[in-house]
Structure 1
Amino acid sequence: MSQIWRLEGWVRFKDLNEQCFLIEFQSKKDKEKILSGRPWCFDRNLLTLQEVDESMSINAVNFQYEPFWVQCYNVPLAAMNEKIGEKIGKCLGHVIRVDVDSDGSAWGRCLRIRVAVDLHKPLLRGKWLGFENQKLWISFKYERL
Structure 2
Amino acid sequence: MANLNLDEGEEEAWIFKEETGLAKSTFEYCIMGCFLTASVVHFQAMRNTMANLRRLLGGVTILDLGEKRYFFKFYNPLDLDRVINGTPWTFNNHLLSIAKQFGNFIGEFVDYDAKQSNWGYKSYLRIRVKIDIRKPLKRQKKIMLTSTKFT
| Shorter-chain TM-score above 0.5 | no
Structure with bigger helix share is: 2
The alignment's TM-score, normalised by the length of structure 2, stands at 0.39
Structure with bigger strand share is: 1
- Larger-gyration structure (1/2): 2
